[in-house]
Structure 1
Amino acid sequence: MSKVSLPPHVHKVTSGGREYFYYQEGRGTPHAGERIRLPNDPQTPEFWHAVRQAQGTFGPTPTGTIGALIDAYEVAWPTLQRKLSEGTQDQYRRYLRPIRAAWENLPASEIRPKHVDALIRKIGMETPGAANNTLDAFKAMCAWANGPVELMIHDPTKGVHRFAKGEGHPPWTPEQLAFAEENFTGVLRRWYFLSRYTGQRISDAVRLGPNDEDDGGFSLPQKKTGVRPWCPIFPELEAEMATWERRPGPYLLQEEGKSKGKPFGPNQMWKVFNKERKKHPILEGAVPHGLRANAVIRLRFAGYTAEQISDMVGMSVEMVEHYCRYADRKASGQEVLREFRERQEAKIVKPLKNGKGK
C-alpha cells in the first residue's frame, strides 16, 4: 500500500505481513485512552468515518456521504498516478470546504447537477472566481470517485458551467510602476523587482534565492503547479541584484519583529505590500498578481511568442494570451495607425513626371 498521512492519534501496526490501524489518544502515556480498531484501508470512506466516530462524532455516519468522499479523495492524493502539486492540494482543500459545508452528511448518490449548479451560482453571485475554483475541485473529486475506485456511479457536475472569465488581475499602471521603482526600499523593493521581471506568483517570488540561479536565469518549481520555468534575469533585475547580499536561502527575509531574519510566507509579504499601499493613493487597485501580467505584457511587446513567454514565466499559453489581449490589440491598432499615416503622406507628396515631388 502506498504511504498515506495518518491523522493524529492513529497508528499502524504491521503483523504477519499485514497492516492494522488503531485510534488511541495519549498512546504511550499514563493517560492513554481506549484503543479502537479501525478498518484496514485508509483510502476508503469507511476508514475516515471510523476515525471521526473515534474522535467523538456521535450519531450514525453513513459511509457514502459527500464528506466521506472528500476525506477519501484527500488521503488518496499521494497514490494518484498523476500527482497533484502541494499548491493544487492546498487549493482543492480550500475549495472543497463549501461542498463539505453544504452536503457533508448527505449521501453522494442524492446530489444532482441541479444542486451543484445552485450552489455554484450562489457562490458566484459574490465571487465568481471562488465559484469556478469550487466547481473545478469538485469536478476533480468526482472524476476520481467515478474512476477505478468506483465510489460513485454518477457525475453530479455534468452540465454545470463555470462563470465566464473576467479580465483577470489588472497590470500595474505606468504611474504605479514608476512610483514603486522610485519609492520602494528594502525587502519590498527586492520583492517588486523579482515579481516584475520574473513574472512569478508571490508564493514563488518569496522563495527565490541564489541557489535558484541557473546560467543567467532562475529555475525553481512553482509551488502551485510544480511547473519549472526558466526565467531570464533581465538587465534591470540584474542591476538590482548586484546590490543584494548573496547567502544561502531566499533573497527576501523579514526585517523586524520576532521573525526577523526568517523567510517570508506569501501572506506575510502581502501584508507588507498592503501596509505600504494604504499609505499611497496612487497604488490603489494594485495587487501583487498584477505584476505577473506586467511581466507577460512586457515580453509580448518585446516580440516574444506566447509559447516562449509560457516557458519563461511558467504560465499556460492560454493564460499568456489572456493577459496579452490588450497588448495585442494596442499593437494592432498602432500598426493600423502607422499604415494610415504613411498612406496620408503618400497622397500629399505626389510625384511629378520627372520623378520629383511638388
Structure 2
Amino acid sequence: MGERIKLPNDPHSPEFWVAVRQAQGIVGPVATDTISALIDAYEAAWPGLPRKLADSTKEKYRQSLRVVREAWGNLQAESLRPSHVQALIETLGATKPGTANNVLDALRAMCRWACGPREFLSRDPTQGVTHFEQGEGHKPWTPEQLAFASDNLTGMLRRAYVLGRYTGQRISDLVRLGWTDIDDGGFNLRQKKTGARPWCPIFSELEVEMSTWEKRPGPFLLQETGKPFTTNGLWKKLDKVREDHPQLAGAVWHGLRANAVIRLRQDGYTSMQISDAVGMSIPMVERYSRYADRKAGGQAILLSMKERKQDKTVKR
C-alpha cells in the first residue's frame, strides 16, 4: 500500500475532487464540473444518501455510469442536453434495450441528485427521455415444473424453493430469512435491494413445510458446512439440478417471484395488497400478473359465451 493522503472533508466540494485527482497521479488543472467529475462526486456521496443504495444497485449504477463516462466524460456537465441523452439511449437500445434502460436509470438518479440544493446542475438533462419497452420479464415456473420441484427437490434446495414460491422474495432475501424475521404470522424483513419492508404472510403450504424445520438462530438456508448460503451458492445448487433434470430447463429463482404474484392475483387480491405482501412496485405487480389477468379475462369471455348459447337453446 502507498502513502496515505488526507483528503478535504467535504466530498461535495471542488477541492475534494482536485485532491482525489492529484492523489491518482493526475497533474495539471483538474476540471471539477465535467461529467466525469460529477460521476465521481455522486459515487462518493452514496454512503450519505438519505435512502441507502443496495450493493447490487451500486454495482449496476457503476457499470452504467461507465458508459456515460466513456460517452461524455470530458463534457461540461451543464452542456449535457436531453437530445444528447436521447441519442445515446437510442443507440444502445437498438441492440441492447435492457442496457439502455439501465444507463438511463443510473444517469437519471445521478442528475436528480445533482439538481436542487446541491446546484451541481441547473436542470435535469434526462427529462423527457423514456425507457424502451420491457419484455415479458422473468417467466414463472410452469405447472409441470412446480409439480416436479414439489415431488423431487429435497434438503436445503427444497427449502429455498418453497420459500421462494410462497413468499415471492428475491434470492438475495431468501438466503437471509430466518425464524427471527417472523412477525405475527408473516415475515417482516427489510429487502436488501430496495430497502422496502413488506409484511409477507406465511401461507398454509409454507407453514406445513416449516413445521419440520429445526428452530435455531440464523437463516433457514445453511450449507453442509453450517455456513449460510450466498446467492451465488444457491444459484450453483439450482444449476446442478437443472443439468440433471431437463424438466427444470429455463427455471430461475426470480421466476418463483412471478408465481407468487400470479397466485395472489388469481385469489382475487388487488395490486396494492400484493405489493404490500411481496414488496414489489404496483407497476411490476401488474407486469407479472399480465398472463394471469389475460387468461382469466379470456376464460370469463368463454364462460359468458357458453352461458349465452345455453340460454338461447333453452328458450327455443
TM, length-normalised to structure 2: 0.90
Name which of 47, 70, 92 aligns with 2:61. Answer: 92
Name which of 181, 186, 189 aligns with 2:158. Answer: 189
Aligned mates of 1:261, 1:61 — CA distance in 2: 51
Is contact 1:198–1:232 with CA below 8 Å preserved after alignment?
Answer: yes
Aligned mates of 2:95, 2:199 — CA distance in 1: 37
Compare 137-146 and 97-106 and name the one that shifted more. Answer: 97-106
Name which of 252, 255, 261 aligns with 2:226. Answer: 261
Aligned mates of 2:143, 2:277 — CA distance in 1: 23
1:234 CA displacement: 1.0
Aligned mates of 1:67, 1:303 — CA distance in 2: 49
1:115–1:275 Cα change, 3 Å:
farther
Please name the residue that 2:241 is paired with: 276
Alpha-carbon RMSD across the aligned residues, in angstroms, is 2.3
Please name the residue that 1:339 is paired with: 304
State the identity %: 64
1:279–1:59 Cα change, 3 Å:
farther
Larger radius of gyration: 1
Name which of 150, 159, 174 aligns with 2:128. Answer: 159
Aligned mates of 2:247, 2:27 — CA distance in 1: 55
Q: Say whether residues 1:316 and 2:293 are aligned partners.
A: no
1:335–1:267 Cα change, 3 Å:
same
Compare 245-254 and 190-199 and name the one that shifted more. Answer: 245-254
- Residues 63-106 of structure 1: CA deviation (Å, up to 9, x unaligned): 112221112112323444x4234254444334323223433344
1:311 CA displacement: 1.0
Please name the residue that 1:120 is paired with: 89
Is contact 1:194–1:237 with CA below 8 Å preserved after alignment?
Answer: yes
Q: Say whether residues 1:150 and 2:115 are aligned partners.
A: no
1:52–1:216 Cα change, 3 Å:
same
Name which of 79, 103, 111 aligns with 1:134. Answer: 103
Aligned mates of 1:211, 1:287 — CA distance in 2: 27
Is contact 2:189–2:198 with CA below 8 Å preserved after alignment?
Answer: yes
TM, length-normalised to structure 1: 0.80
Compare 125-134 and 173-182 and name the one that shifted more. Answer: 125-134
Aligned mates of 2:63, 2:213 — CA distance in 1: 36
Aligned mates of 2:212, 2:5 — CA distance in 1: 60
Aligned mates of 1:59, 1:264 — CA distance in 2: 49
Please name the residue that 1:294 is paired with: 259
Matched residue SS, 2:117 = coil
Q: Say whether residues 1:111 and 2:80 are aligned partners.
A: yes
Aligned mates of 1:271, 1:106 — CA distance in 2: 43
Is contact 1:45–1:68 with CA below 8 Å preserved after alignment?
Answer: no
Q: Say whether residues 1:172 and 2:141 are aligned partners.
A: yes
Matched residue SS, 1:231 = strand
- Residues 161-190 of structure 1: CA deviation (Å, up to 9, x unaligned): 211122111111111111111222222111
Aligned mates of 1:125, 1:268 — CA distance in 2: 35
Please name the residue that 1:21 is paired with: none
Aligned mates of 2:294, 2:250 — CA distance in 1: 23
Please name the residue that 1:83 is paired with: 51
- Residues 12-66 of structure 1: CA deviation (Å, up to 9, x unaligned): xxxxxxxxxxxxx66xxxxxx3x75644422235413422321333554311122
Is contact 1:61–1:105 with CA below 8 Å preserved after alignment?
Answer: no
Q: Return 5+ residue gaps in structure 1 as ranges.
A: 1-24, 27-32, 352-358
Compare 330-339 and 91-100 and name the one that shifted more. Answer: 91-100
Query: Relative contact order: is structure 1 or structure 2 higher (C-alpha 8 Å, sep ≥ 6)?
Result: 2
Name which of 184, 189, 193 aligns with 1:215. Answer: 184
The one-letter amino acid paired with 2:176 is R
